[in-house]
Amino acid sequence: MKSLKFECRLKSRVNVLRSIQSKHRFQHHCLASENSNVARTNLTPSQHVLDIWHKAEAVCFDVDCTVTVNDSLDLLAEYMGVGKEVENLTKKAMDGTLSLGQALEERLKLINCKPKDIKSFLAANPPQSRFAKGIVSLVTRLQERDVTVYLISGGFRELTLPIAEQLGIPRQQVFANRMLWQWDDETLEPSRLVGFDISEPTARNQGKPQAIAKIREAHTYSSVVMIGDGITDLEAVQVSGGADLFIGYGGVQRRAAVEKDADWYVMDFAELEAAMKCYQVAMIGSGAWACAAARMVAQNALENTSGMFDTKVKMWVYEENYEGRKLTEIINERHENPKYLPGVSLPENLVAMPDLLEVTEGADLLIFCSPHQFVRGVLKQLAGKVKKGAVAISLIKGMRVRVDGPQLISQMVERMLGIDCSVLMGANIAEGIAKEELSEAVIGYDNLDNAYVFEKVFQRPYFEVKLIPDGPGAEMCGTLKNIVALAAGFVDGLGYGPNSKAAVMRQGLSEMMNFSTRLYPSIRSETFLESCGMADLIATCYGGRNRKVAVEYASSWQAGAPQTFDALEASLLNGQKLQGVMTSDEVQEILRMKGWEQDYPLFTTINRIIHSQLDPSYVVKYKEGAGINISLHADPTVLKSGDTPPKGPRLAPLNTF
């Protein structure tokens, strides 16, 4: 669950955006009214209109002559024998020549029904017999995409709730008027219709934008669409605080005023279904984590019945030979990546391809999941060649160090490709996710609409995804925990117990938090308690590849036959890359440039152990290790625990960049 603080902050942010959007929408419709002679082309939606439709989080439907092929109150009037008289009043209300309140009052007087009349009317005219063509399919598709559907009717709840029930719309998502009844003192039952509740927003003109304003007060929707056939529906976008988009519907009643001013005018709901976004997804990377993630994406693409995702998911594989054959051929034939994720079946709709540009051609969603040292080269190939409107998400844990400061992978993607890039970070060891063990992650975002789409891409019954408005915080957590994992591996490899390991992990988390917020002051402290922070740190320090290699490094040193990290990477990781060593070098370069080495004693000591300037036992004496003055030589001698530190200048920068 989101914290109260997060909810308040998010609502505040969204409400500000809504206020701006509503103001612009209101101004747009005022200008449209003033320029009524200008030819409209709203039968074909603009890209701006399509963008709102694609990203709609809530869609509100008028009911009469939109969801149904008739007006429920008019049909009730016909059932009661006063159809013509009531129909004339309805037309005046829809054309704006009679106020909605007056029309409702006069219509009810003419109908003069009793509760038993309504029950018999509903039995004679069931909702499913009155639905407009295509409405059931459209509502179903929207609900499958997790779009919340509302009914906002100028009619009455007594007639609208059965319609909502047939469409699977909860009662709390229905806004309609309420009939008022006189109750019989003898039977204690309603006996005579005496009017309607004027406190409901739909009981008066401009009631529909008021209903939408209530919806937005209760929820954090960033985009709301109104669909209807009448003037009262069009009002939803003509009043500040209402909907972001109005789609006029003329499949039952074609009203000239509505057709003229609608943002988009359709005659068939099939047009709206056909215009729903179908996202093509491209996975850039094919290591263990990339394959585990792509497996989830392909499962969702195949199982999604709403058509939101193209069922074919393309995965870029750096071509190499495996057992005498091309790896892409083996993956596509066996539906398994035997080199990086052996024994795990991959969905048949996941297609491995060696050509990067072929994989990304036409893709709407780019998922980056390759070793971070190769990302810049990949982005250079993609620059200027990604689809317009495409967005990205990075699953990569690492950073790039430049003269002017650090650059996160998401920032690199945004700068080089000119697209929004979210991040997915968490306790995500590939093997566990591939086995469909319970796992979780966060999506750190700047653009909430894009984050919602990626949530649908990754969410699985066994993989829980949470959205947080802190991309830099999530990414820094995922990056820095690999250094702490090396420390945990040293502790385990030397045979120290859980107390020592806990102490090192706690110090590591502390330095992660301090370093991150020092570089990026906007990072939220609560991010470190999410899956991307503490949970990922715990998982990596007990089961990740960085810990695995560090254990062997410390064990080999203790046995008197030390091995290098390069040799251990080659022998233990089956072609995968060890991220912790490179990340440690990148972080240490920043610490040296800024003079922060002593502020982060664990980070500094781990980097010195990596480069054979200290022996692994200093991991539990990290303060002492960081405080030692060490002179770098071409062939440095390891300073063993208990040795007297040499005198001389402080540690010089490593020539690793």
**Distance, first Cα to last Cα, the chain:** 42
- Distance (Å, rounded) from C-alpha 501 to C-alpha 428? 21
Which has the closest alpha carbon to 445: 416, 478, 428, 420? 420
User: Helix and strand tally (H, E) in the chain?
Assistant: 27, 20
- Residues with active-site annotation: 481
- Distance (Å, rounded) from C-alpha 335 to C-alpha 47? 38
For residue 612, CA distances in Å to 286, 344, 398 come to: 32, 38, 23
**Location of structure tokens 């069931």:** 126
Contact of 76 with 110, CB cutoff 8 Å: no
- For residue 5, the SS3 value is helix
Tokens of 623: 């303060």
Return the bridge partners of 368, or none. Answer: 284, 394
Residue 183, phi then psi, degrees to nearest 5: -95, 140
Contact of 604 with 628, CB cutoff 8 Å: no
Quick one: how far is CA 162 from the chain centroid?
A: 34
CA atoms within 13 A on the CB side of 129: 8
CA atoms within 13 A on the CB side of 465: 22
- Distance (Å, rounded) from C-alpha 42 to C-alpha 571? 63
- For residue 321, the SS3 value is strand
Contact of 52 with 142, CB cutoff 8 Å: no
